[in-house]
Amino acid sequence: MSKTTFSIIKADVGGYPGHATVHGELMEVAEKKLSASNDLINYHVTHCGDDLELLMTHKEGEDSEKIHSLAWETFQEATEKARELGLYGAGQDLLSDAFSGNVRGMGPGIAEMEFTERKAEPVVAFLMDKTEPGAFNYPLFKIFADPFNTAGLVIDPSLHAGFRFEIMDIKRDKTIMMNAPEEIYDILALLGAKGRFVINKVYPKEGSKLPSDEPVAAVSTEKLYQIAGEYVGKDDPVAIVRAQSGLPALGEVLEPFSHPFLVSGWMRGSHNGPIMPVSQKDAKCTRFDGPPRVLCLGTQVKDGKFDEPADLFDDPAFDMVREKSADIAEYMRRHGPFEPHRLPMEEMEYTTLPEVMNELEDRFQ
Ligand code: F6R
Ligand code: MG
Ligand code: MG
């Protein structure tokens, strides 16, 4: 059987209200557009916060012109609807008027992977709002390299060899492939600097039950402010993770989200705050435009087809995390404009500091 590609392509093409969520009519536009395509096997349209998310399966491979142009046209049509309805920031993530065959570098976020389906193929989509791609460093490291998270790394012979991480230096646009567990200290030296080094993909090792050249996890690594050369909106990342039989179990994939770790983004893309794992119903950003949210949709892919995804954080097992996240959000907020709630000067996506400094320059003695 030929390989299957799972693609998530997403963009903020207008918020309702402000940057909180996506208007139902934009999702209807996307549903209509994707249902009319002959190139998709299946799709699911949803949103996390103000991001319109297209989950798609097909046989066209990664970076397919057909699939990327379908997504691009969908976002354009949704932008027209957003303008008509007077939604906030209509078309904000579509940075170019001319589509040249691939949406990479044009504003939308993309996580894609092409793989040979196993007998049963569990696939999990993580959708985040109000944060950056480096927000996936902590959970993906835990899933694929931390034995305190993933019991299988210790007790399942099929995972015991570990995994390979493809890490991107987003400032220099270079990637490096690193091996876990052999190089975990060096891997963490990079991944801890999550504003600069970002996990792009995870691969099995040679000799694993799975082909070592087919990814088992993929993250969207587009950084909007670097693409546009200035701040135009948060990049709000997405990721795809495959699970079970030779890979971390579904529960091991969800386990890192039992800790509401700190990420940067939140209000004006300029604050640190806790991630909050939420159900689809709560995938909207409210308090101080946040706190940053992560939604998790899981499904089984068979011959490229998949059913209505399960809403995996819609579960009392994560209530405690949400409460803790709300407590941390409150604690962080009390710092107001002070770091480390506010991001360091060079990482803020909005800043008046150069102007303030300019104005005050003469008064410094
Ligand atoms: C963060 C985000 C929001 C906006 C904020 C100000 O990623 O989207 O927090 O930055 O609401 O938005 P504008 O400048 O559009 O008024
Ligand atoms: Mg927005
Ligand atoms: Mg967003």
Q: Is the pLDDT of residue 233 over 60?
A: no
With a cut of 70, say whether residue 29 has pLDDT above it. yes
Phi and psi at residue 109, to the nearest 5°: -95, 145
Task: Specify whether 185 is catalytic.
Answer: no
Atom of ligand 1 nearest to the CA of 236: 7
**What Rg, from alpha-carbon coordinates, does the chain have?**
20
Residues with CB under 6 A from ligand 1: 18-19, 89, 130, 233-234, 265, 267-269, 289
Which residue in the block uniquely carries the two structure tokens 């392509």? 9
Per residue in 131-187, pLDDT (tens digit) is 999 999 999 999 999 999 999 999 999 999 999 999 999 888 899 999 999 999 999
C-alpha to C-alpha distance for 129 and 289, rounded to whole angstroms: 10
Looking at residue 233, the DSSP 8-state letter turns out to be S
Distance CA 10, CA 18 (A): 18
Residue with tokens 């027209």: 80
pLDDT at 228: 67
Verify whether residue 43 is a known catalytic residue.
no
| Domains of the chain with CATH codes | 1-114 (3.30.70), 116-360 (no CATH)
Tell me what pLDDT residue 224 has.
60
Across 220-292, the runs of DSSP E, i.e. the strands, are 238-242, 262-265, 271-274, 276-278
Atom in ligand 1 nearest the alpha carbon of residue 349 = 10
- Report, as an integer, the average pLDDT of 355-363: 91
Residue 180 CA to ligand 3 centre (angstroms):
32
* Model pLDDT for residues 96-116, shown as the tens digit of each residue: 777 778 888 788 999 999 999
Predicted pLDDT at 303: 97
Q: For 71-101, what is each residue's pLDDT tens digit?
A: 999 999 999 999 999 999 999 999 877 777 8
Residue 19 Cα, ligand 1 centroid: separation in angstroms? 6
97 counts as catalytic: no
Indicate whether 232 pLDDT > 80: no
pLDDT of amino acid 230: 66
pLDDT-above-90 percentage for the chain: 85
- Decide if pLDDT at 331 tops 60: yes
What predicted TM-score, i.e. pTM, was given to this entire model? 0.96
pLDDT in tens, 253-308: 999 999 999 999 999 999 999 999 999 999 999 999 999 999 999 999 999 999 99
